[in-house]
Structure 1
Amino acid sequence: MLTRAQMIELFKTGVGAADPRAAVHNALTRTPLDVPTGGRVYALAIGKAAHAMMSAALPLLPKPDAAIVVTNYENAAPLEGARVMAAGHPVPDENGMQAGLAIQKMLARTRSNDVVLVLVSGGGSALVPAPVSGVSLSDKAQVNDLLLGAGLDIGTMNAVRQHLSRMKGGGLLRMAAPAQVQALILSDVIGDDLRAIASGPTVAPIATRDEVRALLATSGLWERLPPAARDALTREGDTPPLPDAQNRLIGSNQISLAAMARDCDGAKIVSDKLIGDVGAAAEEIVQIVREGSGPRVALFGGETTVRLTGTGRGGRNQELALRVATALDGVAGWRFLSGGTDGRDGPTDVAGAVVDGDTLARIRAANGDPAALLADNDSYHALQLADDLLVTGATGTNVADLQILCIDA
């Protein structure tokens, strides 16, 4: 069985395979940006990997007329040739609002022979809120909290966000018109639906307003939305057709899983769609251990959801790991890692956790009550007591989550 250190190194292999610098460099080297004679270049990067993507792009571009990077606070740093703006994630903040205004101002200068290069990565949806008229930042934050707390999948959340934003669901294309838009996209979405990555600033929306209203009603969230959000989702009026764009996918969760499988003898990808409710995902992992039916090193990729019923602190990877440890309490011969490739699991400072059959014993030895902590969605403090948290720091990339399950031969 792999040691804890070996599992962490294998996880880092997966993260490294999603290196945004290499992905952007390869894409622009293979297909250089085509700028018409006399045209200007504008560059924009949004998301958790925005800084790294822009740093790779700038040396390969004609000197941009302007370049803006919008990323989370942990990944923000000065970058020669670009204006770097840090904003809140996962909850939008005022700095994100200012970033949206700066982008709109930059794109208002474009002409028909100009090219706008857009570098998109996960997290862009929250980082650049740009709410529609009548909706405040506070309204957007409240909607975001409701969606996260309801355990909705990323596609559903983004379907709602798109209709509350001037930039999402292709809104960026309208801002950039009449310029040509070329986008390089690093996917944090399972299945790589471009409409869901950063809420699809350069592609058509996921759903219509009617469909979004029905979805929210079915989820029991419609009446809980701020009145301004409900008003925005019931407005009449036609939406003009979207301008065209060239969208290229340059990195994904599947690429990371393949790199991990190559790097570890005997490792096999069991699922690249570990999604949905975290409890069901945990049971899938637990059954493999109980039945001894899988490979000795089983790899998973995906993005689970957590329905919040408590007031504790944690994230989907920590809760998944704690649920597995709870179900296999005292069972020897297994070890499980679950981590977010961006290095941050939910509103915490860790990527996830590495657990085994003795995790709950360590929590109890530190005077913690595992069941009570799990019931309160307080996986962070439970795993902190066990010294099982996975700490990587911000990675500069984001291709959803990776999991490793090791079983003794």
Structure 2
Amino acid sequence: MNTPPDIDARALLRRMLDAAIAAAQPALCIPAALPGVPQGRLLVIGAGKASAAMARAVERHWPGPLAGLVVTRYGYAVPCERIEIVEAAHPVPDQAGLDTARRMLALVQGLTEDDTVLCLISGGGSALLPLPLEGITLADKQHVNTLLLKSGATIAEMNCVRRHLSASKGGRLAAACYPARVVTLLISDVPGDDPIDIASGPTVTDPTTCADALDIVRRYGIDLPTHVLEVLASGRGESVKPGDPRLARAEAHLVATPQMALEAAAQVAREAGVTPYILGDSIEGEARDVGKVMAGIALQAATRGQPFAPPCVLLSGGETTVTVRGKGRGGRNVEFLLACALALRGAPGVYGLAADTDGVDGQEEIAGAVIAPDTLARAWAAGIQPQDSLADNDGHGFFQALRDSVVTGPTLTNVNDFRALLVLPA
């Protein structure tokens, strides 16, 4: 594979991924962000793939009494003593998530100005708190989520639609806590780290409107049921807007971000004698298109030493999208890698890893995959046509057949996608 003997490309890529995940662990980032002890009660609520681990960090470092309720993805629960942890479905919501969302809204009723609600929010919270507005059913929410996931819409666009069909998102959860103080700790999984897009912003005000959501639905040709469209068209789904007095005592703090994860990976590269370049922490677009562009940059580095000379690693984060046209198993990170491998055409010295830092790429219990200069050759030798796999949106099937999948298991955090293209001297 033309790999210098002093650098194991695959091992280095995996160490960088592991460092990115470790940098966003709640045990590291939660303790310093905890609020002061209130005169009244501390009530802990939360939703997301990292929320259970966040709750455990709160329990271990909170000096006084507390109680609460947090919902996380199936398989992501961790033991807590005073905060109840419930598991529900992601990315398509289920009854367990709906029941928990109802319980959470009931739990925050009757609070006083002396009380503090500590809200722990991370990626995945949109699906895990699926409380629909009146006239919309759980089945409707499931259908809408499925359509959004296949549409090619960005995460910000998807969450805009979700906020305006929800009784808990777009600031509504914080409004229900009034007059208590609300402190939200956020682990960001969205490009730009805007709190309104993390779990669709249940505790922050929302400047977007029903009209914005309706524009997104029309732009992507999303065929919503008539009664769901009516919620948007009538304005009945309007969210909590900036300046609402119910959120005057609500504050939000980012405790872990994609940039922090990329910087941790960059340090691992430096220690291995490889120069890291962070190209962006909020890169969006069709996964296959981003893959082609990143491959072009890597090829220029490998063949011309421009804009970066080998050995170097090109790091990026964000959240690409996949417009599903085939019948494969999907996964935006594996789609990125498959398109990248095709564009690289077996270029010597270029390796790549892409994975979702929560351990789940798409709906598979697989974080992502790796590519190497021999990826295409091994596929052809096995009778697999990479171009056909890409056309069928079957990145997971492709990389599993080559035994190049990356499986982390539940990581208990989520700072979005991690991508690394390692360029070594050929």
Quick one: which of 243, 248, 255 aligns to 2:247? 243
1:302 equivalenced with 2:318 (yes/no): yes
Question: Aligned to 1:326, what secondary structure does the other structure show?
Answer: helix
**Alignment-mate amino acid for residue 201 of structure 2:** G
- How many pairs does the alignment contain? 402
Partners in 2 of 1:59 and 1:388 — Cα distance? 38
TM-score by length of 1: 0.94
Equivalent residue letter for 2:401: L
Q: Comparing 141-150 with 365-374, which one deviates more in the overlay? A: 365-374
Please state if 1:316 is matched with 2:332.
yes
Aligned CA distance change for structure 1 residues 26 and 131 (closer, same or farther; 3 Å): same
Q: Within the alignment, does 1:286 sit opposite 2:285 as a pair? A: no
Following superposition, the deviation at residue 24 of structure 1 comes to: 0.5
Looking at structure 2, the residues matched to 78 and 14 of structure 1 have their Cα atoms a distance apart, in angstroms, of: 24
Deviations 1:106-159 (CA, angstroms, capped at 9, x unpaired): 111322321111011111011110111011111111111111111111111110
Q: Offset at 1:300? A: 1.1
Q: Give the ranges of 4+ consecutive aligned residues of structure 1 lying more than 4 Å apart after TM superposition.
A: 62-65, 236-240
Structure 1 residue 35 and structure 2 residue 38: aligned? yes
The answer to whether structure 1 residue 341 and structure 2 residue 349 are counterparts is no
Q: What is the percentage of aligned positions where both structures have the same residue? A: 39
Aligned partners of 1:167 and 1:96: how far apart in 2?
12
Following TM superposition, by how much is the alpha carbon of 1:65 offset from its aligned partner in structure 2, in angstroms? 5.2
The aligned counterpart of 1:261 is 266
Of stretches 182-191 and 54-63 in structure 1, the one that deviates more from structure 2 is: 54-63
Provide, for residues 31-73 of structure 1, a one-character-per-residue CA deviation record: whole Å limited to 9, x for no partner.
Answer: x42413xx11111121000111000112333555531120001
Q: Contact 2:16–2:266 (CA<8 Å) still a contact in 1?
A: no
What is the CA distance between 1:239 and its match in structure 2? 6.3
370 and 236 in structure 1: CA distance in 2 versus 1, 3 angstrom threshold: closer
**Do the aligned partners of residues 91 and 239 (structure 1) sit closer, same or farther apart at CA in structure 2, a change above 3 Å counting?**
closer
Per the TM alignment, residue 382 of structure 1 is displaced from its structure 2 partner at its CA by 0.7
The amino acid of 2:247's aligned partner reads P
Compute the TM-score of the two structures, normalised by the length of structure 2. Answer: 0.91
Change (3 A) 1:206 1:369: farther
Residue in structure 2 matched with residue 184 of structure 1 by the alignment: 185
Write the mapping of 1:144-293 to structure 2, written as runs, cut at 5 A. Answer: 144-221=145-222, 224-236=223-235, 241=244, 242-244=246-248, 245-265=250-270, 266-292=275-301, 293=306
Query: Which stretch has the larger CA shift, 105-114 or 78-87?
Result: 105-114
Q: 5+ unaligned residues in a row in structure 2: which ranges?
A: 1-6
* Contact 2:53–2:77, Cα closer than 8 Å, also in 1: no
Compare 358-367 and 48-57 and name the one that shifted more. 358-367
Is residue 177–residue 243 contact of structure 1 (8 Å, CA) maintained in 2? yes
Shift of 1:234: 2.4
Give runs of aligned pairs for residues 82-121 of structure 1, distance below 5 A: 82-121=83-122
Contact 2:169 2:202 in 1 (8 A): yes
Match of 2:388 in 1: 372
* Pairs within 5 Å for 1:28-67: 28=34, 32-36=35-39, 39-61=40-62, 63-64=64-65, 66-67=67-68
Is the 1:43–1:64 Cα contact (8 Å) retained in structure 2?
no
Alignment of 1:107-146 (within 5 A): 107-146=108-147
Contact 1:142 1:226 in 2 (8 A): no
1:184 counterpart SS class: strand
Q: Deviations along 1:248-274, whole A, 9 cap, x unmatched? A: 111100011111222222222122232
Change (3 A) 1:281 1:84: same
Contact 1:278 1:316 in 2 (8 A): yes
- Which residue number corresponds to residue 386 of structure 1? 402
CA distance in 1, matches of 2:226, 2:111: 35
Answering whether residue 343 of structure 2 is matched by residue 327 of structure 1, we say: yes
Query: Is 1:354 the equivalent of 2:370?
Result: yes
1:185 and 1:144 map into 2 onto residues whose CA distance is 22
Aligned to 1:16: 22
Q: Is the 8 A contact 1:350 1:389 kept in 2?
A: yes
